[in-house]
Structures are given as structure tokens and as C-alpha cells.
Chains A and B, each alone.
Chain A
Amino acid sequence: MATAALETHDTHGAHPPTSTGLNSTKVAIWTFIGSECFFFASLISTYLIYRGRSLVGPFPHQAWTDPATGHVYKAILNIPVTSVSTFVLLMSSLAMVLAHSAVVRGDRKSSKIWLASTVILGATFLGFQAYEFTSFVHEGLTIHTNLFGSSFFILTGFHGAHVTAGVIWLLTLLFIDMKRGLEPRDAINVDVCALYWHFVDVVWIAIFTLVYLIK
């Protein structure tokens, strides 16, 4: 165990000396993730405060009849579809840790496969979100419709923007991997990207429960 630790110690390359003794890039990404906690907390708070205060539908969990037109709007949230997209995002986190593990080991073939898998799964999640947003608009819910629409689209939209940024980041790593191959000394770059990706995943875990499942 100690031997393995020392062996990998060397392959990762030393970072410049720091006052904390820790890699500054990792300190920076954890600080950024800490600040993102506040960002998403503000959006989640806004959603929860406005929850159930919409005067007109469509509503997330119950049907609504428009008194002016008599049109019946069904409950807008599609739990089966969102459950699948949640599963997809969770599995992308698995692919991400396996990609990182492969880069640490210097296994180029596996790193490419798992990085590409993470990109595909992330893009699939975004596809589900695009489908969801489009179907909501078709069913009469836009960002202007009611408090639910405004807070929902802002919260999930910002999360989707974070996923998009993550997919672009992963694509750059995949491009580098294809071009020259990611070495164990590059593991810190993959690790930082992985931390961001997993954070996006845990934010969705909270959103899925608070927005979709709690009625």
C-alpha cells in the first residue's frame, strides 16, 4: 500500500511549494465549488419560497382548468422522463471517476473510453432537459407564465448551463487525450474537471428531490 502510494506520488509530478502544502489548483476548485453552493442555495431558496404561490397554471403536480377558456392543463412535471435523466447523470459521474482513475494509471485506451462516455451521458442529460423545456413551452408553461415557471426555468436552466460548461470542459480533455494522450502527470487537470462534474451531479440530486419529487 505504502509502495503503491509512493509510486503514484512520483508519477503525478510535484506541484510548486505552497503554504498549505496542497495543490493550489485543487484549493481553487474547492473554493469555487464552495461559492457555487451559495449560488444554487439562492436559486433553490427562491424556488421553495415561491412554491405553491402561482395564481395561474400550469402547476407542477396538479391539473388546472383555465377559468377564462375552460382549457384543462395537466400536471406539468414528467417524473418518469426526469428519473431516467437523473439516472443518466448519476452514471456520468461513475464514468468520470473511471476516466480519472484511468488517467492516474496511465491507461490511455480506458481514459478515452470513459471520458467519451461521460461526454455522451452529459449530452444525453442536456437532451432530456431540452425535451423537457420544449414540452413545457408547448403545454403552456414559459418563464413568464407564473411564479412556478419563472423560478423553475431559472433554477434548472442555470443547472443546465453548468452541465453544458462541464461537457465543453470534458470535450477539451477528450480532445487533448486524442491529440497527445493524457499522462498521469495530467491527472490533476482531470481531477479538477471531475470535481466540477460531480458537484453538478450533487446539485441535481438536490433539485430532483426538492423540485420534482416533493409535492
Chain B
Amino acid sequence: MAADHSHPPLAHDAQGNASPAEHTHPDWKTYRWVALILALLTGMEVYIYYLPSFVQTKMFVPTLLLLSAIKFAIVVLFYMHLKYDAKLFRALFGGPLTLACFTIVGLLFLFGHLAIHF
């Protein structure tokens, strides 16, 4: 692997035209750190799963959801470049994602384990 990955952050027109600064992409070091953090968070999730004392607590599910949300956000912001890209792309993804999350929670309130019985 003789490739030089120490290039400066990249920017390109194909990402949109708002301003060059908005289209700066992370460099190899950032990608490597992101991968390491993702691997560590996944390891933490699995470790928590095998902790019987923690599984019994009320913190188990929120902790897993939080770790998952962090991983999700990291991939979207850094690997999908949403942190650096045009705002329209954030709206095109963030809008449906928010609606989808509300839909899941709404359906769980209507039919799932969060259902309110009158």
C-alpha cells in the first residue's frame, strides 16, 4: 500500500457549488479515526450485551440506543460528508429521517410496546 494518504482535505465541485469551504472532505487520518471510533463503539455495544448486571437495569436500552445513534451520526456526518456538504442534502436526508423516526415511535405508541390502553 504505497499510496500517499496524507493529502490535504479535498474539495470538489461535484458535491455542490455553495462555496469551496463547504465541500472540504476529511483526510485519511480523519477516516482512520472515524473507523477506530466506530469499531470501539461496536465493541462497547457487544460488551454491554454480555453484562448481566447492566442488562437488568433501565439504562441498558437507552445506552444501546445512544451508542447506535452516535455511530449512525458519525457515519452520516463524516463518511457521507453531510457535515461538509450543501445544506439541501442535509434537508433531503434529515427531513425524511426525522419523519421516519417519528413514524416508528408513533406506531409503537399505537400498536407496540409503548401502546397506551384506555
Where chain A touches its partner, the secondary structure class is helix
Residues of B close to A215: CB separation below 8 A: 55, 60
Residues from 29 to 64 in A contacting B, C-beta threshold 8 Å: 30-31, 33-35, 37-38, 40-42, 44-45, 48-49, 51-52
A13 within 8 A of B: yes
Residues from 89 to 116 in A contacting B, C-beta threshold 8 Å: 90-91, 93-94, 96-98, 101-102, 104-105, 107, 109-110, 113
Residues from 38 to 71 in B contacting A, C-beta threshold 8 Å: 38-39, 42, 45-46, 48-49, 55, 60-61, 64-65, 67-68, 71
Q: Could you tell me the distance between the alpha carbons of A202 and B78 in the complex, rounded to whole angstroms?
A: 12
Contact assessment for B96 and A51 in the assembled complex, using a CB-CB cutoff below 8 Å: no
Q: Could you tell me the distance between the alpha carbons of A22 and B17 in the complex, rounded to whole angstroms?
A: 6
Q: Could you tell me the distance between the alpha carbons of A110 and B95 in the complex, rounded to whole angstroms?
A: 35
Where chain B touches its partner, the secondary structure class is helix
Residues from 59 to 118 in B contacting A, C-beta threshold 8 Å: 60-61, 64-65, 67-68, 71-72, 75-76, 79-80, 86, 88-89, 92-93, 95-97, 99-101, 103-104, 107-108, 111-113
Residue tally, chain A, CB below 8 Å to B: 71
| Residues 192-215 of chain A, each 1 if its beta carbon lies under 8 Å from chain B, else 0 | 001100110110011011100111
Contact assessment for B31 and A98 in the assembled complex, using a CB-CB cutoff below 8 Å: yes
Residues from 162 to 181 in A contacting B, C-beta threshold 8 Å: none
Task: Indicate whether A98 sits within 8 Å of B92 (C-beta atoms), given known contacts A79-B49, A198-B75.
Answer: no
